[in-house]
Structure 1
Amino acid sequence: MAKKPEIDIVRLSTSFFESSADGLIVTNQQGKIVYVNTKGAELFGYEVDELMGQSVEVLLPAAQMEKHQRLRENYHRNPHPRPMAKGYGLKGKRKDGSIFMAEISLNPLQLEAGQYVVAQVVDVSERKRLEAALKKEQQRFQQYLDVANIIIVVLDREQRVELINKYGSELLGYEEAELLGKNWFDLVIPEEEREKARQFFMEKMQQEEAYAQYESSLLSRTGKRHIIEWRNTYLRNEQGEVISTLSAGIDLTHHKQLLTALQESEARLKSIIETALDGIITIDEKGTVQSVNPAAERLFGYSAGEIIGHNISMLMPQPHREQHDHYIQRYLSTGHKKIIGIGREVRGLRKDGSQFPFWLSVTENRLSGRILFTGMVHDLTEQKEAESALKKHSEELEKRVKARTEALAQAISGLENEIRERKQVEKALKESRAQIQAALDRERELNELKSRFVSMASHEFRTPLATILSSINLIDKYHEPDKKERRIKHIHRIRSNVRDLTNILNDFLSLSKLEEGRVNANYETFDLPELVEEVCEDLRTQAKTGQQILYTHKGGQQQAFLDIKLLKQILHNLLSNAIKYSPEHSEIRIVSKIDDQHIRFTIADQGIGIPKSEQSQLFTRFFRAHNATNIQGTGLGLSIVKKHVKLMKGDISFTSEEGVGTTFSLSFPVQQD
């Protein structure tokens, strides 16, 4: 049998209560439920009759029951409309024991039967869930802004900063709060660009004209200039009016520096090729000329424009002119080399129809899927003329000897004089032949050195240059924040290849100066440990992961008297090799000592070592051990080191075991004459 309500339902405006979208519960001063509308019963999972007369605490979690009783008693002492326990995170308990988030508003109701409380109950579980999700999404968005490796900034129409991410504020050297509300152009745009940039911004805002991409400069707090590439869009209010701009910027400063270094490296290579005394010609796999240097133009009598784009056979006399394309195709199909990497003497055809002999050295290069052949043309005209003169001179000498012999047969009395004269002539002949032969040998040696230089330059320069160009092109495409790792990877590749190109050029220039006798030792007194530590510190930036360069100076004497520049080059070369040929997480140890007679060094690594069968060739120009052919290098470094050591009257030796490591020992006299 249903319980009879404690108060008159009519007086409670039943129709109003039942039509409410919220749960309504009326309790007396003892906390007993005297009325509940249908919505309220459904909210807690009960029938209306099940709640009538029940303590209101039955609708609360156990943890809130005791506290609620005290709050209820306090409320009846001072009843007034208010939200219940605002900020305490109220919860309701359904009949099935499940808990939900609730908001409850209390209103006192004074009737003849006594004082009552009307509680309006709203289930806010879904709203709280949505609020939490929104807060989490806002935090995630802020994290995205903060970790993005680009500048993100929002400017209002008055050029004030409304928003800037963590990367942007750190790049400029400010706290975020220092930038917010400040005029962007007055604070970070260089003075010489400020008004032009400000005018550009104001015009675009006024015209509401899109300006998707452009470059500008920013000044950090320390005065460092950054070159930024911007992408922009407008932010509008609900009426569609432009209220601010959202800009995303990528710092191109380092990229620009690398590009400049690449251009300088290319210019240096171009200068070497254009100033070479021998002709250099590049053709593709079809025999079409791709490039010629000024020396080749002079040798053949054509301008570059008359040769480039035409078949190389135009520079050949018959029968080689007609057969040249067959030579290339046969090599490409069989791999059999007749000239490539070998070289031989051939004849060239000038524009005026005259022919001349030259030594041809050819190297093959593969670049971006293309096969290119680079030929070095060394004119043999003077050499042939010298050989002809030598032959003619020999014939003349033979005639003179014959004449003297006949004279001796006719004049017995002058035999001794004639014999003496003949011996003198023969001696002069031998000396002349020896001098000419020495000149020819030197010429051939220089020719071989030049050929190997061009071959080495073609290979060692083109591969890093191709890698750098490829990486720059890829970096230009990786503007998105999620491609930061790829950009960094290609920047490291560019930095590594630019350093390799610089080392190669330095080797070639050092060898050239040494061969020409333009290097002398300039001695001065200096602090030896300080200099060695400086070299070590410089090279630690090039060390592989986990590699350690450990330096020790033994003894109390620290002052040395040597050529500082030559010693730095020697130590730099030996330590660079130790880094290059040693694995990651290995130790490289350098020890210096000065005693009464000598200044001594040892440099020991844990690298790949030098095969015993090849150790005798270690200081030979262009020598590369067979276990190092896959590692970048010119084969000139140790040859240069030995020459530098000899310039300072020193000695160099080494011990090495393949797979264990190598130790170099240097010794210089303390006193220089």
Structure 2
Amino acid sequence: MSSDSSSPQRPASEQFDFLIERIGALPLDEILRDLLRQSATTLGVERVGYWSMEGGARSIRRDLQYYLSTGSFDETPLRLESKTYPAYFGALNEGSNLVVSHDSMADPRLAEFRSAYFTPLGIASMLDAPVHRHGQLFGVVCHEHVGSVREWTAAEVDFARYVAQWIALAVEIDGRQRAEIALRESEARYRTVIEHSPTPTVVVDMGTGLFVEANESALRFYGVDRTSLLSGGPADFSPEHQPDGRPSAESAKEKIAMALSGEEPRFDWTHVHGDGHLIPCSVHLARMPGKRSERVVATVIDRTEQTRTEESMRRALEQERELGELRSRFTSIVSHEFRTPLGVIMSAVELLRNYFDRLDEERRSELFEDIHQATRRMGDLMEQVLVLGRADAGKLGFSPVPTDLAALCRKLKDEALSASGSKCPVTLSIEDDLSEAEVDEPLLRHIFSNLLSNAAKYSAPGSPVEFEVKREGPELFFRVADRGIGIPKKDQARLFEAFHRATNVGEIPGSGLGLLIAKRCIELHGGSIDFVSAEGEGTSVNVRLPLC
């Protein structure tokens, strides 16, 4: 499968910077148009639409559709009923509600659309991202890719989710503004508005500092009955201090005074629910109608879902930054690790091709050995990348069986000596009876081939390497120690990061994957790994695995 488009080139936060000031200042319809257009352009998707849930999620209605090829919008409503498309609605109500379909025609969740929808329109792949409001599925952003089958990347899926979160924020702000406008529309109807508003709304009397009115939404928001709520004021349903450090009682009094003076302050606040948990919220205050009124209307918006969305966005951005750094290190390591052996191979091949008859047998053997070693070096790197990929995907199997651990460790020692050309002598020390050990031999080979290889690689020729194996209670204890270049202190915290190498390795070849692979294999055994190292003095790596 292949994709006709490229992943987003800039972080999603930068691509939507233009919306920060527009949300709340422009109608929701214009914000939706901006978001759908941006999503279609960035992902290279022909059809991107926004659908809203109806009737308690029994149906879904298309509100707006954008077409990339024509740059036009379609506002023709289209409604889908759950009874007609049960498989698709089932997918929307499962897990994270995200529907990622690389091959729509082969996806059983979308089988109901094949003949009447996908085939006529040439839709090959779909990516539906949920829009949540107050913890409920509120709508869906539907990306319909036209053409050949498309393999959605993780970055593209995250981008689609990010777009949905911005729509959720726009819808939430739009709802909040509508509630506030409705509250001020008419002096004569304010009590009706308060009583029936879906937004928690209370009235505070400045003279007593107590709540004197509250709608049903406010009672649910505070989690108390009407009598309890009206016997207290804002400070009684708030923590002692607000997140800015100010006392709640002092800050509330100040904000109420601002409202009575004619201002309409909007601010973030933290309330305490009846069960004790804290509720992050936004509060809007306005003076009650009437020139002599000493009462203030407070509308409260629960920001719990918004806070979660913002935290999700923050984590997504952090992951994106980490991914960018990982990609950069990967490119640097792989390009170096392939360029050097490829240069060796090309040079050797050129010499053999042009001067084969003039080279003596010994020189030919040396060149063939150079080719063999360079090819092996590249093969080892690819094998490490594949092993790590399987481990991260959860596809690296773990099958422990009773094993002659002493014999296996002797083999590992001999293989390490052979692989390094006996650069460093390896002393194997085996204590206790290890006949009860149950391990996964392939995983153990990944662990200690990497540890023994590193010990020899970063040590001077002839420097001894110690390989110790013994039993410590219910655990197997392994130690691989060398007297090599050691690990600088500033690099030790990142030792198990992919493609990260210590700053003192110089021109010593390596991928930065060996220790991470070893750690993954150790974790599959339910074990642990730690190390002690000092630059210029050597490194001792300790591995502990359950005995069985």
C-alpha separation in 1, matches of 2:155 and 2:444: 40
Deviation at 1:626, TM superposition (A): 1.1
C-alpha separation in 1, matches of 2:493 and 2:330: 22
Q: Against the structure 1 CA distance between its residues 449 and 515, is the aligned structure 2 distance closer, same or farther, given a 3 Å change threshold?
A: farther
Higher relative contact order (CA 8 A, sep 6+): 2
Query: Match for 1:472: what amino acid?
Result: V
Deviation at 1:415, TM superposition (A): 3.6
- Contact 1:578–1:607 (CA under 8 A) maintained in structure 2: yes
Q: Against the structure 1 CA distance between its residues 586 and 420, is the aligned structure 2 distance closer, same or farther, given a 3 Å change threshold?
A: same
Name the counterpart of 1:169: none
Name the counterpart of 1:574: 451
Indicate which of 520, 533, 540 corresponds to 1:643: 520
TM-score (norm 1): 0.41
SS in 2 for 1:518: coil
Query: Match for 1:414: what amino acid?
Result: A
Pairing of 1:537-552 with structure 2 (within 5 A)? 537-544=414-421, 546-552=423-429
Pairing of 1:74-473 with structure 2 (within 5 A)? 298-299=4-5, 386-404=161-179, 406=183, 407-408=193-194, 413-415=213-215, 417-418=217-218, 420-421=220-221, 425-443=302-320, 445-446=322-323, 448-473=325-350
- Contact 2:326–2:499 (CA under 8 A) maintained in structure 1: no
Q: Against the structure 1 CA distance between its residues 379 and 477, is the aligned structure 2 distance closer, same or farther, given a 3 Å change threshold?
A: same
SS in 2 for 1:299: coil
C-alpha separation in 2, matches of 1:418 and 1:560: 63
SS in 2 for 1:582: coil
Q: Against the structure 1 CA distance between its residues 379 and 567, is the aligned structure 2 distance closer, same or farther, given a 3 Å change threshold?
A: closer
TM-score (norm 2): 0.50
Deviation at 1:482, TM superposition (A): 5.8
Q: Which runs of 5+ in 1 are unaligned?
A: 1-274, 276-293, 301-345, 356-377
Deviation at 1:397, TM superposition (A): 0.9
Query: Match for 2:5: what amino acid?
Result: L
- Is 1:659 matched with 2:365? no
Task: Give CA deviations for 1:441-471 in whole Å, capped at 9, x if unaligned.
Answer: 4455445544543443333223312321221
- Contact 1:619–1:639 (CA under 8 A) maintained in structure 2: yes
Indicate which of 597, 605, 609 corresponds to 2:482: 605
Name the counterpart of 1:245: none
Query: Match for 1:299: what amino acid?
Result: S
Deviation at 1:610, TM superposition (A): 1.0
Query: Match for 2:218: what amino acid?
Result: E
Q: Which runs of 5+ in 2 are unaligned?
A: 7-40, 46-67, 72-152, 184-192, 195-200, 204-211, 222-280, 282-299
Q: Against the structure 1 CA distance between its residues 576 and 389, is the aligned structure 2 distance closer, same or farther, given a 3 Å change threshold?
A: same
C-alpha separation in 2, matches of 1:640 and 1:457: 16
SS in 2 for 1:535: helix
Task: Give CA deviations for 1:102-145 in whole Å, capped at 9, x if unaligned.
Answer: xxxxxxxxxxxxxxxxxxxxxxxxxxxxxxxxxxxxxxxxxxxx
- Contact 2:387–2:517 (CA under 8 A) maintained in structure 1: yes
Task: Give CA deviations for 1:459-489 in whole Å, capped at 9, x if unaligned.
Answer: 3223312321221221234434763343233
- Contact 2:485–2:535 (CA under 8 A) maintained in structure 1: yes
Query: Match for 2:214: what amino acid?
Result: G
Q: Against the structure 1 CA distance between its residues 651 and 403, is the aligned structure 2 distance closer, same or farther, given a 3 Å change threshold?
A: same
SS in 2 for 1:627: coil
Aligned length: 311
C-alpha separation in 2, matches of 1:420 and 1:349: 44
Deviation at 1:652, TM superposition (A): 1.0
- Contact 1:404–1:418 (CA under 8 A) maintained in structure 2: no
SS in 2 for 1:517: coil
Task: Give CA deviations for 1:5-34 in whole Å, capped at 9, x if unaligned.
Answer: xxxxxxxxxxxxxxxxxxxxxxxxxxxxxx
Q: Against the structure 1 CA distance between its residues 502 and 395, is the aligned structure 2 distance closer, same or farther, given a 3 Å change threshold?
A: same
Deviation at 1:384, TM superposition (A): 5.3
Q: Against the structure 1 CA distance between its residues 637 and 354, is the aligned structure 2 distance closer, same or farther, given a 3 Å change threshold?
A: farther
- Contact 2:431–2:470 (CA under 8 A) maintained in structure 1: yes
- Contact 2:423–2:456 (CA under 8 A) maintained in structure 1: no
C-alpha separation in 2, matches of 1:588 and 1:463: 28
Deviation at 1:666, TM superposition (A): 0.9
Query: Match for 1:547: what amino acid?
Result: C
Query: Match for 2:172: what amino acid?
Result: L
- Contact 2:202–2:214 (CA under 8 A) maintained in structure 1: no
C-alpha separation in 2, matches of 1:477 and 1:561: 55
C-alpha separation in 2, matches of 1:432 and 1:482: 69
Deviation at 1:635, TM superposition (A): 0.9
- Is 1:534 matched with 2:411? yes
Name the counterpart of 2:547: 670
Q: Against the structure 1 CA distance between its residues 348 and 461, is the aligned structure 2 distance closer, same or farther, given a 3 Å change threshold?
A: farther
Q: Against the structure 1 CA distance between its residues 459 and 349, is the aligned structure 2 distance closer, same or farther, given a 3 Å change threshold?
A: farther
Flag the structure with larger Rg: 1
Deviation at 1:655, TM superposition (A): 1.4
C-alpha separation in 1, matches of 2:423 and 2:462: 4
SS in 2 for 1:601: strand
Deviation at 1:544, TM superposition (A): 4.3
Query: Match for 1:591: what amino acid?
Result: E
- Contact 1:478–1:484 (CA under 8 A) maintained in structure 2: no
Query: Match for 2:171: what amino acid?
Result: E
